[in-house]
Structure 1
Amino acid sequence: MWAELLPVGRSAASGGYRRFAWTTADAECRAWFREQAERRGLAYEVDRNGNQWAWLGDPQAGDAVVTGSHLDSVPDGGAFDGPLGVVSAFAALDELRSRGVEFTRPLAIVNFGDEEGARFGVACVGSRLAAGVLTRDQAYALRDADGARLPDAMERAGHDPAAIGTDHERLGRIGAFVELHVEQGRFLTERQPVGVASAIWPHGRWRFDFHGEANHAGTTRVEDRRDPMLTYATTVLAARKKARLAGALATFGKVAVEPNGTNAIASLVRGWLDSRAADEATLERVVEEIRQAAADRGGRDGVRVELTRESYTPVVDFDGPLRDRLARTLGGVPVLPTGAGHDAGILASAVPTAMLFVRNPTGISHSPAEHAEAADCLAGVTALADVLEDLACQG
């Protein structure tokens, strides 16, 4: 399975992956998922929001145990973030069948659409729509860098965008959701190959618009310039300092410049901030301090600063009884929080959810250098199979 999926959407230039929502690479990933489901005799379906499901047992029976993750990627992302959870889900089902277990609850494997938000700027679109965290109107307003609307992209890919929206009926089928994911840090490096998640830090994305004045780079006097690039650069440095002092994280990882000419002073710089913290109060304070630093510098540069919150996810504490059950089943493995967002975190508001992490020896993620050893991946499959057996085969 891993070998079949590995070449899809891979960039020859970077070695990373560009599996963006509703593109050709995404379609290939989705075709792979359907083929895996049909190979195993599972009932395949696509929900109203474009999420893919593979069912063992009656989907209408309720109290189902669901596992899976996502197949899309960030720009030039790694091979493991998302796909490891989907591949491991199918592999765990194969393992359970080899054990000859008897399923007492329905089991489903899911591929959530557009988890990374690389194309339309909002993470976890598929699970957010299903849980009602993202409204239909909000989804319809999303555009990619080329101006293409999300519903138009979905329609071109063969999905009916008129149907998207909250999916209480399907979520009502789920009794528990367990997502396996490569660890995006180094907590497990010197410990065990598998851990259980305790919580997800609150996090969000904010767009800073720095409005200056376009002018000639070679003739405009320094005192006559309204250069938004200066304000932007100062804000990037301020974000690092404010976050460090608060024990939080703040990253400007995306920027767009107009008119984007080498010999021109920019008229507009847009920078996207990703910020995360252990609690919501700290996160709000850090973002406000960054905004204030931007406004102060903008005042000196003659630059107007606007701030727009594009997405936000509050702190997620995973279901305590389910989390503890997983830890017991796996013999007391490490329990750890994470600063990364996941579909499991979105669904936590609607159904009991939990997560397993597989050790990442370097801690690098969202990069072609992302890695997990084969032995650790296999340990993850065994752990997921043990958890699913406990949940779906014994009541």
Structure 2
Amino acid sequence: MSQGSGGHGGSPADAGASSPAAGSAVPASSDPRNDGPRPVTGASFHEMWRELLPIGRHPASGGYRRHAWTGADAECREWFRAQARSRGLTYEVDRNGNQWAWLGDPGAGDAVVTGSHLDSVPDGGAFDGPLGVVSSFAALDELRGRGARFTRPLGIVNFGDEEGARFGLACAGSRLTAGQLTAEQAHRLTDSEGISLPQAMEAAGYDPEAIGADPERLARIGAFVELHVEQGRALDLSGDRVGVASAIWPHGRWRFDFRGEANHAGTTRLVDRRDPMLPYAETVLAARREAELAGAVATFGKISVEPNGVNAIPSLVRGWLDSRGPDQDSLDTVVGGIEKAAREYADAHGIDLDVVRESFTPVIEFDHALRDELARVLETANGRPEVPVLGTGAGHDAGILSGSVPTAMLFVRNPTGVSHSPAEFAAEDDCVAGVGALAAVLEGLACR
């Protein structure tokens, strides 16, 4: 695991190595249509952002490698603990490795919780996850600065292993907490080096035997609000800095195992080959066609080849499909079409094929009452008649928790629309507007 000790400057405008104008800041927005609720200075936000920015940043790619239960992950966790302690908050780690910081007594129940995650995809951007965690502490600072009086407990959370970059299952920390991932299933997860999740947790100083559903903790929560950088350009196109999420598209991950016969690349005639790379390549193209026809998205973004030699015909090509659709029918159509095409290509080349669904999340409609409350609070704070409400194809911890507690999400504008890449971006004034929006929401929920 390479970890950058350097980094860009301390502001979000500097965070992406490939941001617009080759690393220059996106100009501050002057669009008056959504200037955000009560102006905030963002001083604590910028200070925290500077501290967090270098952790896990790869010097060559400019992206982040903050994978679960690694050294970079440990540094992020220590950063979270320090933020909690410096504010006099009660700090705890739950049985699944999720970190919590509490203002007030969480045992009192009906708590308002906010936060996100600090881990990343391989060479991911600076904003996906960390923006929500940093903004949560900054929003609390803003409310304290106003002298706000809290009538409900307030919690800030860092969910572990949200991206699933190391063990292949997204939102592992929140899935375990919500009982959507059993301890037995979690113990079977391994990384690319064969290290199991329990082994990784134990090496990081956590007890893997304690993991599992945590209904008592969820029962404390009356509402969960997650702020996240938008993973798309809807807000940029509408000219708004902040929006409210409506729903998360149904989505899942499927593993396609194409099994052929290893052989010499230089001596085996083409007609004598059982090369699994050929049907795999044809399936990748089929995925694009099927997604376009269904109005969905489908991506083969990860591949494993055995024996993985330049002069060897593969014996196994394993590819992972990520597919998402605006509704269940469109998702079923695109995945079914891809699998049908893959089996036809495999048969034509004499290749065996296994398809395994590794994870799946149905469409998630965020709690309508909470969503409407967020919109009302922001409309009142902004003095605007409406706040943009938009769906998303990206999965989030808020979506996992939605089956157990009322959840909602805020999105902050991303002018590039790029995510899971060093080019992921948000302008400074938009980040500060997000802090203001979250502060207004938390004030409306926890201080009334």
Q: TM-score, normalised by structure 2?
A: 0.88
Q: What amino acid maps onto 1:96 in structure 2?
A: L
Cα deviation for residue 281 of structure 1 reads 2.2
Deviation per CA, 1:152-183: give whole Å up to 9, x if none.
10011011011100000000000000000000
Q: What amino acid maps onto 1:122 in structure 2?
A: L
User: Aligned to 1:52, which of 96, 99, 105?
Assistant: 99
Per the alignment, residue 304 of structure 2 pairs with: 256
Per the alignment, residue 15 of structure 1 pairs with: 62
Per the alignment, residue 231 of structure 2 pairs with: 184
| Consecutive unaligned residues in structure 2, runs of 5 or more | 1-47, 380-385
Cα deviation for residue 70 of structure 1 reads 0.1
Matched residues in 2 for 1:223 and 1:73: separation?
44
Mapping for residues 1-395 of structure 1, pairs under 5 Å: 1-190=48-237, 191-331=239-379, 332-394=386-448
Cα deviation for residue 285 of structure 1 reads 2.1
Matched residues in 2 for 1:296 and 1:123: separation?
30
Aligned length: 394
Per the alignment, residue 17 of structure 2 pairs with: none
Cα deviation for residue 122 of structure 1 reads 0.1
Instruction: State the secondary structure of the residue aligned to 1:219.
Output: coil
Cα deviation for residue 286 of structure 1 reads 1.3
Matched residues in 2 for 1:229 and 1:218: separation?
16
Cα deviation for residue 229 of structure 1 reads 0.3
Q: What amino acid maps onto 2:284 in structure 1?
A: V
Matched residues in 2 for 1:132 and 1:8: separation?
31
Cα deviation for residue 333 of structure 1 reads 1.2
Instruction: State the secondary structure of the residue aligned to 1:380.
Output: helix
Matched residues in 1 for 2:246 and 2:311: separation?
51
Could you list the runs of 4 or more consecutive aligned residues of structure 1 that deviate by over 2 angstroms after TM superposition? none
Q: What amino acid maps onto 1:293 in structure 2?
A: A
Matched residues in 1 for 2:233 and 2:49: separation?
24
Matched residues in 2 for 1:99 and 1:386: separation?
11
Matched residues in 2 for 1:17 and 1:189: separation?
24
Matched residues in 1 for 2:208 and 2:333: separation?
37
Q: What amino acid maps onto 1:237 in structure 2?
A: L
Matched residues in 1 for 2:161 and 2:347: separation?
38
Instruction: State the secondary structure of the residue aligned to 1:90.
Output: helix
Deviation per CA, 1:61-82: give whole Å up to 9, x if none.
0000000000000000000000
Cα deviation for residue 222 of structure 1 reads 1.1
Aligned-residue Cα RMSD (Å) equals 0.5
Instruction: State the secondary structure of the residue aligned to 1:330.
Output: helix
Q: What amino acid maps onto 1:222 in structure 2?
A: L
Cα deviation for residue 230 of structure 1 reads 0.2
Percent of aligned positions with the same letter in both sequences?
A: 74
Matched residues in 2 for 1:209 and 1:392: separation?
50
Matched residues in 1 for 2:207 and 2:330: separation?
40
Cα deviation for residue 380 of structure 1 reads 0.1
Deviation per CA, 1:320-361: give whole Å up to 9, x if none.
000001001111210000000000000000000000000000
Matched residues in 2 for 1:241 and 1:340: separation?
21
Cα deviation for residue 11 of structure 1 reads 0.2
Please say which of residues 137-146 and 281-290 is displaced more in the overlay. 281-290
Q: TM-score, normalised by structure 1?
A: 0.99
Matched residues in 2 for 1:136 and 1:73: separation?
23
Matched residues in 1 for 2:55 and 2:161: separation?
16
Cα deviation for residue 289 of structure 1 reads 1.1
Cα deviation for residue 371 of structure 1 reads 0.5
Cα deviation for residue 14 of structure 1 reads 0.1
| Consecutive unaligned residues in structure 1, runs of 5 or more | none
Matched residues in 2 for 1:298 and 1:34: separation?
51
Q: What amino acid maps onto 1:387 in structure 2?
A: V
Matched residues in 2 for 1:3 and 1:283: separation?
40
Matched residues in 2 for 1:286 and 1:242: separation?
5
Deviation per CA, 1:285-326: give whole Å up to 9, x if none.
211111110100111101111001111111000000000010
